[in-house]
Amino acid sequence: MTKNLTRRDFIRAVGGITAMAVSGDLGPDVFAAQKRMFQFPEKDELILLTSRPPNLETPLHHFKKRVTPNKSLFVRWHIANIPTSIDLKEWRLKVGGHTEKELLLSMDELKKFERVTYTAVIQCAGNGRSFFEPKIPGAQWEHGSMGNVTWTGARLRDILNRAGMKSGAIDVSFNGLDTGTLPTVHDFIRSLPADKAMEEDVMVAYEMNGEPLLLLNGYPARLVVPGWYAPYWIKALNEISVWPKRFEGFWMDIAYRIPDNPCACVPPGSTPQKTIPIRRMNTRSLILEPEDGARLSLKKPVRMMGIAFSGGFKIKDVIVSVDGGKNWREAKLGRDEGRYSWIQWFHTWVPSKPGRYGLMARAMNGIGESQPFESLWNPAGYMWNKIEKIGITVE
């Protein structure tokens, strides 16, 4: 019942990174192009962005799988003291605030709620940040702070109903076991509007891909808000509070906010007049095959494949171009895994002339949301979803 076998490994891992940093291998340049692979406990080799707290990016080729294996899933923490040992005998999920009663749920009790399962993309708000021009400070994610996972858990709604949410509830806040190293560091607490919290699909997950959550991904329980960006998906969740007024806090009122306009964007380098919390994911597609810069052979079929997803409205079509956007062809879509999952797409073509080709992919979801040709800049570098374009050479 205790997940702590990795504690020593954690310390060793972080120690190893520190040693690298001291020896100069890890520079302080936040925009550094070269990244180092690193293997944390329970994980594959992933791309190391920061070590304390650990922020690890998944190499692109892992996304060719329909579902992202636990050991390949990216890791993203906000404050330094992350739980490295949790005894389920002691862990409780406290549910209270503006409720009829207070709950203190053990894992056994949590598992007695109706069990729900679906596959959903988890994606960092800053996924793709490194591609914005001008550059934006913060973790320099490429495309790898995302994954597609089959989550299992209890409906948040069922839990809130058990506690008896009182009328007049405005927000519901979520806190996990991570803490800052200094009193001045704001605890990572985030909130959902009460009506969103009561939506059918929001869950408190205790399994990812049929296994208990990994410590690095939020063991023993994390909030899953399918279709919304990952900052809402609080890890190592231990406290849910219902508020009869708007919840206020650094991580809602200052961080993770976007310009309050239809593109969530401002002219590059400028500051928005008004901001709102980031919420639903926009529509994205990725080209996974061939790789950018590949050299391919004349008259041999080229298999293009990739993935596409949206913030809960499925993917209606993906069109691809091999001539930089003049001609487009409908790609074949893979198996439909539900509205929160990504979907694979495939297209094969035969290059008939040598030269450079611009390969593009653009996805559209069920309500007509697609992707822009130009990036939509915002000061925090969120919501990157420009139409994918890679270059290949045919010889």
DSSP code string of 261-299: STTS--STT---SSEEE--B---EEEEEESPTT-EE-TT
Return the residues of window 346-375 that contact a second copy according to CB under 8 A. 364, 366-374
Does position 376 bind a second copy by CB under 8 A? yes
In 3D, which of 246, 257, 122 has the Cα closest to residue 193? Answer: 246
In 3D, which of 52, 17, 22 has the Cα closest to residue 37? Answer: 17
**Alpha carbon distance 275, 387 (integer Å):** 25
Return the residues of window 254-273 that contact a second copy according to CB under 8 A. 262-263, 265
Query: Of 57-65, 69-77, 244-252, 312-320, which segment contacts a second copy by CB under 8 A?
Result: 312-320
**Alpha carbon distance 245, 292 (integer Å):** 50
Of 12, 65, 303, 329, which one interacts with a second copy (CB under 8 A)?
Answer: 329
Sequence-distant (≥ 6) Cβ neighbours of residue 284 within 8 angstroms: 308, 309, 310, 363, 371, 385
**CA 77-37-82 angle, 5° bins:** 20
Q: Phi-psi category of 383—alpha, beta or left, where left has phi over 0 and alpha has psi -120 to 50?
A: left
Does position 378 bind a second copy by CB under 8 A? no
Sequence-distant (≥ 6) Cβ neighbours of residue 27 within 8 angstroms: none
Look at residue 390 and give its three-state secondary structure: strand
Run of H or E including 252:
helix 250-253
Return the residues of window 146-205 that contact a second copy according to CB under 8 A. 195
Does position 127 bind a second copy by CB under 8 A? no
* Alpha-carbon distance values, 259 to 47, 231, 263, 270 (Å): 30, 17, 8, 11
DSSP code string of 4-20: -TTHHHHHHHHHHHHHH
Does position 249 bind a second copy by CB under 8 A? no
Of 15, 325, 355, 391, which one interacts with a second copy (CB under 8 A)?
Answer: 325
Does position 327 bind a second copy by CB under 8 A? yes
Of 234, 319, 343, 390, which one interacts with a second copy (CB under 8 A)?
Answer: 319
Query: Of 90-98, 132-140, 212-220, 278-286, which segment contacts a second copy by CB under 8 A?
Result: 278-286
Does position 313 bind a second copy by CB under 8 A? yes
Q: Phi-psi category of 264—alpha, beta or left, where left has phi over 0 and alpha has psi -120 to 50?
A: left
Q: Which two tokens stand for residue 141?
A: 């994610």
Question: At closest approach, how far in Å is the CB of 110 from a second copy?
Answer: 29
Q: What does the per-residue mask of binding to a second copy show for 27-46, with x meaning CB under 8 A?
A: --------------------
Residue closer to a second copy by CB (options 2, 327) is 327
Question: At closest approach, how far in Å is the CB of 83 from a second copy?
Answer: 35
Does position 293 bind a second copy by CB under 8 A? no
Does position 295 bind a second copy by CB under 8 A? no
Query: Of 43-51, 105-113, 119-127, 316-324, which segment contacts a second copy by CB under 8 A?
Result: 316-324
Question: At closest approach, how far in Å is the CB of 62 from a second copy?
Answer: 26
Question: At closest approach, how far in Å is the CB of 127 from a second copy?
Answer: 16
Residue closer to a second copy by CB (options 73, 315) is 315
Residue closer to a second copy by CB (options 121, 177) is 121
Residue closer to a second copy by CB (options 108, 374) is 374
Q: 211, 196 in Cβ contact below 8 A? A: no
**Alpha carbon distance 194, 217 (integer Å):** 25
Whether the bond between 53 and the residue before it is cis, its omega within 30 degrees of 0, is yes
Of 385, 390, 392, 394, which one interacts with a second copy (CB under 8 A)?
Answer: 385
Query: Of 81-89, 212-220, 299-307, 320-328, which segment contacts a second copy by CB under 8 A?
Result: 320-328
Q: 67, 211 in Cβ contact below 8 A? A: no
**Alpha carbon distance 179, 75 (integer Å):** 16
Does position 336 bind a second copy by CB under 8 A? no
Does position 133 bind a second copy by CB under 8 A? no
Number of residues that bind a second copy (CB under 8 A): 32
Chain residues that interact with a second copy, rule: CB under 8 A: 195, 262-263, 265, 274, 280, 282-283, 311, 313, 316-317, 319, 325-330, 364, 366-374, 376, 385, 387
